[in-house]
Amino acid sequence: MPYAPILIRHLTEFQLPRLLELRNLCREAFFDSRLLTEEDQRLWWKQYTRSHPLYQVHSIHYSPNTCSPRLIGFLSARWLNIPCDFRVWEVGNLMMDPDFRGRGFMNHALHLLWKDLGKPIFIAHVQSSNTSSLRFFEKAGFWTVPTPERKDSKCLTVASPS
Predicted confidence (pLDDT) per residue in 113-141, tens digit? 888 888 888 888 887 778 888 888 888 88
Residue with the bigger pLDDT between 162 and 86: it is 86
- What CATH class has 6-158? alpha beta
Range with the largest mean pLDDT of 3-17, 61-75, 130-144: 130-144
Distances (CA, A) of 161 to 19, 69, 83, 119: 25, 24, 22, 9
pLDDT score, position 33: 76
Share of the chain above pLDDT 90, in %: 0
Would you say 75 and 91 are in contact if contact means Cβ atoms under 8 Å apart?
yes
Q: What angle do CA 40, 45, 51 make, to 5 degrees?
A: 135
Q: Over range 97-111, report the average pLDDT.
A: 86
Would you state the pLDDT for residue 1? 43
